[in-house]
């Protein structure tokens, strides 16, 4: 089957299982997930969705998220959007559920209460907005990061000297203007006019700011970076909204954009650039200090607690920190350490596979999810294996902690290991690695960290991941058809096993 047909077939298989075109209120995607806003959650057939070959799992958050994996999701989403538009144009109604009104009301109220309690806190909503600003930039960060790595390799080898300047321009062009894209996305996310946010953020990277003095110091182009751009664009949104309320409609088209750029631009030049520059410098200094003085311990904690942070949605706070470090130093030293959490999951899954030889359902899930796990897509192993079992999720975090401690130790010894982009993990991070002691050393340290994470996660899970009761419950012959514990999606209705 042609790739286009395969992607359209996947989209066509998903659409009726989420209630049809009439039930879809919004469509978006990140690196691995198709994110859908739905009018009625009760119309979704979770089990049938998990059985679709391309679907790795489903996750409920503020949106209904279908895990398709990197690459696939970017190809399936346009096909899904087209099918939804065709369905709406044809006036296809949403399927009518076969439940009573009382059942639907109770189920809807329960789901709404659960989701509101878990995800509607002001802090999490704010972090989600921040993530929505930076996530669309990840493909460009990855592409430019790989080109930068290739260019560095060619320069070190002395190959193609006439080509490397062009590659350097390709790799650096986006980073030179990343503040503009951050400003654009920020204004869009906070309800302003995106181009005005981009225009104000562009001031930060304009070379002419080098002729301006603020706080007794001469400004430099790019000072404040993405944090300054974010703050400038948020300010622009508030100025614009104020203008929309008070400026007469006849003058709005002239006065509002002018005042927005003028007011927020002046505050940016004579305030935000300096303040954000100091904050950005402090972030870089703190990251260097943290890993140079407490590298092994810091890496142990970061690698061990990253997955719980992901489960709580708090990992989104790290995205602007990663981006700031990449902008300042050319790579983020935090991402390779955090990637060890996925290595712990892989090791834990391998141990579960051996400890449950009779449970073909779980073993089948592990076999299908392991390749994705090795490439850094951890949702199928987390939601389909370790988290529902309970204790193996904890021992997987232990594996991540030891892997993170290994990489952190080398940072402490002076061998910085970083990534030139955010998003990929596992083996997929190898093309994006960079450091301060050559590519060979950087790759060896990262590979060693993965190996330590695999082994530690395996050993911890094999010997401490199962109680006697847990083995008696799950190490039994089962029908290999999908079961709650084998599902590569949301946690089953049954509570996680006691740890």
Would you name the residues annotated as active-site residues? 30
Give the CB-side neighbour count of residue 54, counting CA atoms within 13 A: 24
State the CB neighbour count (10 A cutoff) for residue 115. Answer: 14
**282 Cβ neighbours under 8 A, 6+ residues apart:** none
Number of residues assigned to the chain: 499
State the CB neighbour count (10 A cutoff) for residue 14. Answer: 22
Q: Are 445 and 415 in contact (CB under 8 A)?
A: yes
Crossing angle for the helix pair 391-412 and 273-312, to the nearest 10 degrees = 150
Q: Are 54 and 5 in contact (CB under 8 A)?
A: no
If DSSP codes are grouped into helix, strand and coil, which group holds residue 304? helix
Distance CA 410, CA 413 (A): 5
Distance CA 137, CA 185 (A): 9
421 closest CA partner among 131, 71, 145: 145
Output the six-digit token pair for 27.
């469509």
101 φ/ψ sector (left φ>0, alpha ψ -120 to 50, else beta) = alpha
If DSSP codes are grouped into helix, strand and coil, which group holds residue 64? strand
Interior/surface letters 269-289, b for 16+ CB within 10 angstroms, e for the rest:
bebbbbebbeebeebbeebee
Distance CA 351, CA 346 (A): 9
328 closest CA partner among 278, 290, 268, 267: 278
210 to 169, 205, 207, 222: CA distances (angstroms): 22, 10, 6, 10
Distance CA 51, CA 484 (A): 12
């Amino acid at each position: 089957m042609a790739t286009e047909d395969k992607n359209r077939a996947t989209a066509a298989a998903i659409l009726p299982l989420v209630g049809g075109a009439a039930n879809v209120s919004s469509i978006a995607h990140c690196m691995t997930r198709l994110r859908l806003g739905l009018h009625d959650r009760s119309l979704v057939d979770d089990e049938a969705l998990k059985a679709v070959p391309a679907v790795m799992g489903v996750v409920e958050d503020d949106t209904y998220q279908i895990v398709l994996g990197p690459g696939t999701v970017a190809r399936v989403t346009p096909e899904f959007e087209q099918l939804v538009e065709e369905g709406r144009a044809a006036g296809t109604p949403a399927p009518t559920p076969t439940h009573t009104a009382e059942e639907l009301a109770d189920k809807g109220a329960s789901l709404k209460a659960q989701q509101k309690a878990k995800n509607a806190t002001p802090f999490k909503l704010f972090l989600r907005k921040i993530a929505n600003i930076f996530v669309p930039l990840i493909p460009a960060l990855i592409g430019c990061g790989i080109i930068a790595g290739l260019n560095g390799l060619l320069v070190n080898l002395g190959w193609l000297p006439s080509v490397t300047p062009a590659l350097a321009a390709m790799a650096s062009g986006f980073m030179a203007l990343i503040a503009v894209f951050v400003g654009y996305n920020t204004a869009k996310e906070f309800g302003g006019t995106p181009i005005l946010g981009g225009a104000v953020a562009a001031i930060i990277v304009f070379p002419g700011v080098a002729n301006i003095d603020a706080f007794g110091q001469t400004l430099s182009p790019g000072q404040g970076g993405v944090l300054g751009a974010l703050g400038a664009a948020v300010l622009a949104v508030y100025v614009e909204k104020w203008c929309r309320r008070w400026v007469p409609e006849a003058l709005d088209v002239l006065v509002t954009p002018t005042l927005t750029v003028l007011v927020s631009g002046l505050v940016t030049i004579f305030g935000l650039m300096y303040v954000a520059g100091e904050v950005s410098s402090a972030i870089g200094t703190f990251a260097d200090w943290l890993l140079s003085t407490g590298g092994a311990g810091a890496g142990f904690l970061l690698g061990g607690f990253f997955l719980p942070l992901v489960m709580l949605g708090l990992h989104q706070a790290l995205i602007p920190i990663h981006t700031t470090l990449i902008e300042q130093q050319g790579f983020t030293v935090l991402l390779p350490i955090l990637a060890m959490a996925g290595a712990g999951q892989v090791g834990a899954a391998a141990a579960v596979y051996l400890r449950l030889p009779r449970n073909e359902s779980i073993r089948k899930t592990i076999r299908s999810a392991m390749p994705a796990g090795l490439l850094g897509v951890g949702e199928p192993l987390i939601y389909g294996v370790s988290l529902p079992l309970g204790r193996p999720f904890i021992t997987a975090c232990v594996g991540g902690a030891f892997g993170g401690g290994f990489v952190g130790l080398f940072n402490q010894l002076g061998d910085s290991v970083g990534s030139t982009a955010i998003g990929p993990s596992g083996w997929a991070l190898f093309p994006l690695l960079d450091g301060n002691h050559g590519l060979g050393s950087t790759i060896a340290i990262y590979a060693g960290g993965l190996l330590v994470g695999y082994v530690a996660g395996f050993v911890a899970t094999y010997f401490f991941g199962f109680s006697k009761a847990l083995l008696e419950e799950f190490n039994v012959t089962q029908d290999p058809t999908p079961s709650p514990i084998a599902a590569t999606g949301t946690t089953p209705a049954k509570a996680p096993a006691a740890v």
